[in-house]
Structure formats: structure tokens, C-alpha cells
Structure 1
Amino acid sequence: MSGTEVTVHVNRGAADELEAESDALETSESFTLLLQGHETPAHVHCRLGGDLERIAALGEANYYVEPDGVTAVPVTVTADALDRPVDGHLEVLTGYGSESLSVAVTVTPGPPDVDIDESLAEPARSEPEPTALERTIGQFTGASGLEPATLVVLALGLVAVGVAALTAATIGSPVATAGTGVVVIGVLVALFLLVQ
């Protein structure tokens, strides 16, 4: 039962007298009617009226209220399917119906249900810390906009072109120079295919 309550004083000051602390209640959940007894005991009848009858229910209809005692009357409200407020009243009667009072009750739609995905129960997977080599490659990649694999092919291609040029310069023959050209063309083709 929720913490929402409405209190009605029974037989305070005179027999068969009812007095509500509030004449209206607005809620989106179940609530409790507290029947506060005073000088003499009383039989109290409770009922729901208006559209409130469709969405709420009383535990019982008849209650015996002890002098100086409090009788709790649970009022169960089902507001899950509401899309607009529902108005009604809670009526309290005593003295075989000779005395009655009514508390206006407005039930508002509750907060919407939140669907929780089961994946939220799984622990988050953290990314592993990058190695020094990955951080270095990442710096070049971020600056140039090239993929790490492209940078590796470019570095190896430069080494191959350097070795071919050094060999051609050392040997000095036209065949070595042609070999250097083949290496340069191969590196350019490989870079072209990686960049696309």
C-alpha cells in the first residue's frame, strides 16, 4: 500500500458525526482511508462512486471503529491502463446512513512503464589499453587519415624502394635500374589498392 492517505474523523464532538481532513484527493496509485475514532464506537460503511468504481476496490465495505482507535481501509487502485484522469468519490456513511460525507477522488495516469533490455544486466566490456606501437600508429593515422595497414605498406614500400635504389646505384647496370622501377611500380599499385 502506498503512503497516500485520507483521514476521516468519526464521532468527534457528537455521535454519528463524520469530518474529513480533506475533501479531495488526487493520486496515481492505491491509497488508504484512515477512520479515526473518537468518543464513542461506530459502525462505518464505505463505498466508491462515479468512474472510480471501474478502477478501484475496497478491501471491505463495513468497518467497526473503536473509540480513540484508527481503522485503516485499503483502497486498491489499478491505474496502469489509464490514458486520462478518472474522477469519482469515496463515500463514508455512519448512523445507518443518517450521516455521510464524500471525498472527491481523481486518479491520474501513472508514470509510463520503462522497458528494460536484458543486455543492461551484462557488465560493460571495456576496450583494452592500446600498446605503444598502436598509439604511435594512431598518431600518424589521426594526422594523415590513413588506415594503419596502409601506413605499414607505405613504410615497407619505402624500405623496398630504398634497397632497390641502393642496389641499382651499387651495381650500376641497366637491369638493376629496371628492377628498381618494377619495385616502385609494385609499391604504387599496392598503395592504390589499399587506399580504394
Structure 2
Amino acid sequence: MLAALAAATLLLTPWSTPPAAAHGSVADPLSRIYGCYLRWGSDWMNPDMEQQDPMCYQAWQSPTGAMWLWNALYREGTGGDFQAYIPDNQLCSAGLTDSGRYAPMDTPGAWRTTQVDSSFTVDLFDEAKHGADYLLVYVTKQGYDARTDALDWADLELVAETGKQAPNSHYYADVSAPGRSGHHVVYTIWKASHGDQIYFTCSDVTF
């Protein structure tokens, strides 16, 4: 159903043709871009969004086309050296990938959060079912302020790493991140198995 909805939506937005190999995003805890798409994709001109969901409202304005491409926030050619290609303050946009299309994802603020305990499971939704070579899951350290501070590498702690997962709609990583409270960011990196596409997603959570 989600894949069909995305395909139908893209047919209605010819100015934003997606890359042929677009995949997906983190479904739980819901990523910034996927959450904005799910909540407002069928109602993106609703003026109530500005008050009800201000961070998504900002993202839908600049540029709108990026929201239809929620499943294509990836970068190629890093060789696994992520920090060399993705500077501090640009982690959620994968280093302003695709000519900065996803820049609003980097903006700190009152993003809607998913409630989690110190142990939780990351659920990655992959429309294309190409398989995942790995998932790396980071969580911000206690003291990080997601509402005022754009994400830096030094803000993160690696809390989970998986091996290869067979082609499917969903891939999972079990996470343990004790000693945290309040609003944090879960940063998930995953590599699609079919080629050199590495996806970078920010999910906001409340511990």
C-alpha cells in the first residue's frame, strides 16, 4: 500500500522524478523526512501544517519536491569514510546530497518525536527490497539539545551494528541506549546491497 501510494504521488509530481533505485527510510522510530511525508503527503498545502507541525512545514517549503523523494536520501562514493564526505551540521541531509535538496532535515527544532525506552528496535522500511549490507545505529549523547543544535559526529554514540540482511521490506537493529532522557536523535546509516548507495536518516525520539 505504501509503495503504491508513493508511486501514485510521484506520478502527480513530474517535476521531481525519483532516482530509479530509490529505497526507503526508517519507519520506527519514524525519520524526519518519512514522518513529514506520511503526515502531509496527501495534504501538503494545508495551512494548518505551519502551526501543527512547523518543522515539516519548513521542509515542505524548501523545496517541496524533496518530500516526494523521502525514499532517496542517500549518498554514493563515500567508500565508507562518512566523516570525510558528510560535515558536521549536515548529517541529516547526508552532506547536502543531491544539490542540497534535503537541507531542511539538518535544521534543529521541535521535530515530532517517537517515544522509546532505553532498549528499542530500529525498523527500516525498504520499498525496493534489495537487501541491506549493514545497519549502523547511533544515538545522541546525554546533554545534546536537538531543538537548538544541528547534529555533529561528536554528538553521537554508536549503539548498534548489524551484518547483511536478506532482501525484504523491513530490516531491523536492536538498540540499547541507557542513561538518556528527553529529546534525542537516532542516526541510522544503511547500505543497500545492490550497489554503492548509502542512506543516512535522522529520527527524533523522546526517552
Work out which of the two has the higher radius of gyration on C-alpha atoms and give 1 or 2.
1
Q: Kindly indicate which of the two structures has a greater share of residues assigned to helix.
A: 1
TM-score range with shorter-chain normalisation?
A: 0.3 to 0.5
State the TM-score, normalized to the length of structure 2.
Answer: 0.33
Please, what TM-score do these two structures have when normalized by structure 1?
0.34
